[in-house]
Amino acid sequence: MKSAFLFPGQGSQSVGMLSAAADQWPMIVETFDDASKVLGYDLWHLCQHGPAEELNQTMVTQPALLTASVALWRQWMVTGGPRPDFVAGHSLGEYSALVAAESLDFIEAVKLVQLRGELMQDAVPAGEGKMAAILGLDDADVVAVCEEVAEGDVVAAVNFNAPGQVVIAGSLAAVERAIEACKARGARKAMPLPVSVPSHCALMKGAAEQLAEALDEVRFNDAVIPVVQNVHAAVSTDAKTLKANLLKQLYSPVLWTDSIRTLVGEGVGVAVECGAGKVLAGLVKRIERGLPVHSIEDPDSLASAIEALQKS
């Protein structure tokens, strides 16, 4: 039986995250210190004390979650945890996955995600973009609604998170039209998300063009652990492919449901969520109920996860 590590993206952050882990493992704060030197501010202090409004700013959230995931990954490795057969990351989490796969250097990743957050924030003026979660409709229905109500504006299904759970993004008016149309089609819920950046839609193409310049300056290596990437839900190890897909990811949908099914199809029978929170474990239950997902946020859960992977 094969194993996979899953790395979360935005939405998993919270003030005080990894505090219990840091009490036991010096590696956690050491990794945050490494990131802070690059960022120019105390990232650990901000994650522990907030304010939440600042932590939730895209340009802060992204390096914070990357660092949290890499800190736990480093702890896993120094504790003697077995190397997984595959890695995958949800949106921003793909950067963490590439660090774990030794395709991307951690410090370079911190610089990239800080820039990524800034470019995303600047791409759409505050108040002009929106995202919303649509629950209880088939994927095809959500896609059809977005096409029907676009009226020349941008609105698209951008996160296929689990069956019956799709996130849409685009310009404010178009997303609001889509919310009402999804309700009319029988969506159980159609609710705006508290984010200012409409990620993974065409409004991010300008940000992607600017990010491309920074990516060109960064060395990518072939992955030592195969990566299932967001944009095609397929396994990649080639450095050029990994880099190209990372850029496309900024304005393309996150195919998370398909990514998990790809992992199961590759023989994965156990997974570890490596990062703050348990968002991905919840999504996996909706996608592949038979795939157990372990958290590693404290010594006991890490020991249980190591045991599960060693048995796999």
Active site amino acids: 91, 200
Q: Measure the CA–CA gap between 218 and 208, rounded to whole angstroms.
A: 15
Contacts of 246 (CB under 8 A, 6+ apart): 94, 95, 98, 215, 229
Q: Is 198 exposed, middle or buried (0-12, 13-18, 19+ CB in 10 A)?
A: buried
**3-state class of 169 per DSSP?**
strand
Q: Is 30 exposed, middle or buried (0-12, 13-18, 19+ CB in 10 A)?
A: middle
Query: What is the DSSP secondary structure assignment for residue 203, as one 8-state letter?
Result: G
Q: 150: which 2 tokens?
A: 């676009």
Q: 268: which 2 tokens?
A: 């994965």
The candidate with the shortest Cα–Cα distance to 230, out of 89, 103, 100, is 89
Residue with tokens 């590590």: 5
Q: Measure the CA–CA gap between 153 and 203, rounded to whole angstroms.
A: 10
Cα–Cα distances in angstroms (integers) from residue 84 to residues 104, 247, 271, 280, in the given order: 17, 25, 9, 17
What's the length of the chain? 312
Cα dihedral 7, 11, 14, 18 in deg (nearest 10)? 0
CB 74 within 8 A of CB 106: no
Contacts of 15 (CB under 8 A, 6+ apart): 47, 48, 49, 50, 51, 52, 55
- DSSP result, 23-38: HH-HHHHHHHHHHHHH
Q: 287: which 2 tokens?
A: 């996608």
